[in-house]
Amino acid sequence: MGMGRMEMELDYAEDATERRRVLEVEKEDTEELRQKYKDYVDKEKAIAKALEDLRANFYCELCDKQYQKHQEFDNHINSYDHAHKQEGTQDYYESEMIEIERS
């Protein structure tokens, strides 16, 4: 007695819950996607930054030379060219200092 109506109400309640769940899933999906995108962007930025750091590490400011490999950079740092340039720069700075002292 009255069971039919009860069932209908339960069905309705279930429908509403189902609908709400779908909405929540959609919301979660969007947030998850947004987070995933953010993670992706962060990762890309981190990679770009790491590459930049790596490049900076293999860049000789003194000689304005960029090296892609640590070995090449190492070779350059120990090379005559680099040492000579460094010496030249030091001489330049020293003479500049003398000039300043004299004036």
Binding stretches for Zn ion (CB under 5 A) = 60, 62-63, 82
The residue assigned the tokens 């069971």 is: 3
Based on CB atoms, which residue is closest to Zn ion, 23 or 62? 62
> Residue 85 in 3-state DSSP?
helix
Shorter beta-carbon distance to Zn ion: residue 78 or 103: 78
User: Could you tell me the smallest distance in angstroms from the CB atom of residue 69 to Zn ion?
Assistant: 15
CB of 79 to Zn ion, least distance (A): 7
Q: Which residues of 15-32 are buried (b: 16+ CB within 10 A; e: fewer)?
A: eeeeeeeeeeeeeeeeee
Sign of CA dihedral 41, 45, 51, 52: positive
Smaller CB distance to Zn ion: residue 52 or 87? 87
Min dist CB 78 to Zn ion, Å, is: 10
